Structures are given as structure tokens and as C-alpha cells.
Amino acid sequence: MESIFHEKQEGSLCAQHCLNNLLQGEYFSPVELSSIAHQLDEEERMRMAEGGVTSEDYRTFLQQPSGNMDDSGFFSIQVISNALKVWGLELILFNSPEYQRLRIDPINERSFICNYKEHWFTVRKLGKQWFNLNSLLTGPELISDTYLALFLAQLQQEGYSIFVVKGDLPDCEADQLLQMIRVQQMHRPKLIGEELAQLKEQRVQKTDLEHVLEVNDGTGMLDEDEEELQRALALSRQEIDMEDEEADLRRAIQLSMQGTSRNRCQDIPQTSGSHPTSEELRKRREAYFEK
């Protein structure tokens, strides 16, 4: 895997990463792709001028931004296609009727370029195995022959446009090496964003641990302090439970007194001398709790 060239995402330069990962080297820079884009813009301007430089369509065209590139680093399919023509390579739409009629098994191709909105990435065969060289991944992702067709179908389902790269790719070290050996991948690469989030969390945890050790003067008393904290929390919970029990007991007594008074009022005609004594109330409460 170390021999495989894999440019990771920088800004919005996915078209550059896509081309370089396809060709397995630093073949194109933003400056070179911008030059191709400007050339395409000029060709489009000249075609529009044929209808008259004073026409409304021509003036509107001049006011519009370039459709081949923007300031973020995005480049169009026309730029990518023209860049590949330098190497004698051609792009054919994978799901076009013309290509589908050929009924070519994807594993018999050499490479694909995939595009969704403004993101481009390469899927390429190196040696006898297929790899997803998406610049958003932390490294190349191995794709088995049996999974390749399903992988491409899934991309199409998600809205990707897929192009077959036709022609002879330049020789590269990874292709030569992987003709002799097969790669085994135990863990799939993560998305760059996921890895950065994980690294950030690990740094935060490390910083917190270092802070705790500093507070404890590095004396190795962390375990004892933790045990004392657990004991204090346990005692605190016991005190809260006791307070809750006492509150429940007071409420029960109060309810008992109210309930007994109501029962007595219902069973015995009220007279001026019918109020129970405090001793009788005490006995009734005890009888209530013994039930």
C-alpha cells in the first residue's frame, strides 16, 4: 500500500487529486489546470463572438463567471478531459447507452473517474486489485473484484456520474509491484474529517490527564484521590437517601393523621367531646405503620 500514490484533499482541489491519483504521480498542479481552463474559456468566447460581439448573448456570456473553474479550485469535466488528452486518454460516460451496449464487465477496465457535484475521485486497478483513491480518505481503500460492480452501482444510486478512462495509463511503481504481490487490508481507511475529529478527542483526553497529573504533582496518588472521591459520592448519596426517607415518613404521618380524622368524622357523630387525645392519635399512627 505504501507504493500507491495517494494525494489527500487540500481545499477544493479534488480534480487535481483525482488526476494525480489516476496517473500515480504529481502530474498536474493548480496552475496547469487553470491554464487549461482559461484556454477553454477563450475558445468558448470565440465561438460566442461568431454570433456578433454586439449581440445580447455575447454580452451576457462576458458577464458570467467561468464555467470551467472557480476561485475555490474547482475544475470542470472539460478541464479534466483535456488534461487527460495530453496522455492519450479518453473519458466515456459509464452509464451511456453506447457503453452499456458493449456489456463490458467493470473488472475488465483499468480505471474510473467519479463525480458528484464538485467532487472528483479515481477508482483504479493497480496490479491485479482495485483501489478507491478518493482524496477524502486517509489512504487507498481496497475493493474486491466481486464488490466493484456493486460499489459503482451504489455510487450511481447516490447521484454520481462515472466515467471510464480509456487508453494506456503511464507506467508506475505501484502497478509493477502489485503485479507480483497481493495486498491485504485489515482496516478500511477513515474519512479525513473522522480521523481529525478522533485525533482532536485524543489530544483533549491527553491534555486532561496531564492536567490531573500536574494537580497531583505527579506523585502517583491519582488512584487514591479517585477512591476518596468515590467514597465521598457514596456518602453523599446515602445522606440524600436518608433525607428522602425522612421526608417520606413525615408525609406518611401527615396523610395518616388526615385519613384517620376523616374516617372518624364519617363513623362517629361529631360532638364537642369527640376529639381524640394525643395518646389515641399516637396509637393509631403506630397501628397504621404496623399494617
Residue 166 has φ and ψ, to the nearest 5°, of -105, 140
**Which entry of 114, 115, 119, 132 is annotated as an active-site residue?**
119
Q: Mention every residue, 6+ apart, whose C-beta is less than 8 A from residue 22.
A: 111, 113, 122, 124, 133, 165, 169
Contact (Cβ atoms closer than 8 angstroms) between residue 84 and residue 165: yes
Q: Is 226 left (phi over 0), alpha (psi -120 to 50) or beta?
A: alpha
Residues 221 and 207: their CA atoms lie apart, in Å, by 18
Q: What is the DSSP letter of 275?
A: P
**Cell numbers representing residue 43 in the block:** 475558445
**Residue 20: strand pairing partners:** none
Residue 16 has φ and ψ, to the nearest 5°, of -60, -45
Length of the chain, please?
291
Among the listed residues 30, 11, 47, the one whose alpha carbon sits nearest the alpha carbon of residue 83: 30
**Which entry of 6, 14, 17, 132 is annotated as an active-site residue?**
14
Half-sphere exposure of 121 (CA within 13 A, CB side): 20
Would residue 119 show up in a list of annotated catalytic residues for this protein?
A: yes
Contact (Cβ atoms closer than 8 angstroms) between residue 143 and residue 151: yes
Residues 151 and 237: their CA atoms lie apart, in Å, by 55
Would residue 211 show up in a list of annotated catalytic residues for this protein?
A: no
User: Residue for cell digits 466515456?
Assistant: 92
Would residue 265 show up in a list of annotated catalytic residues for this protein?
A: no
Contact (Cβ atoms closer than 8 angstroms) between residue 84 and residue 90: yes
**Which entry of 20, 115, 132, 134 is annotated as an active-site residue?**
134
Q: Which residues are catalytic?
A: 14, 119, 134
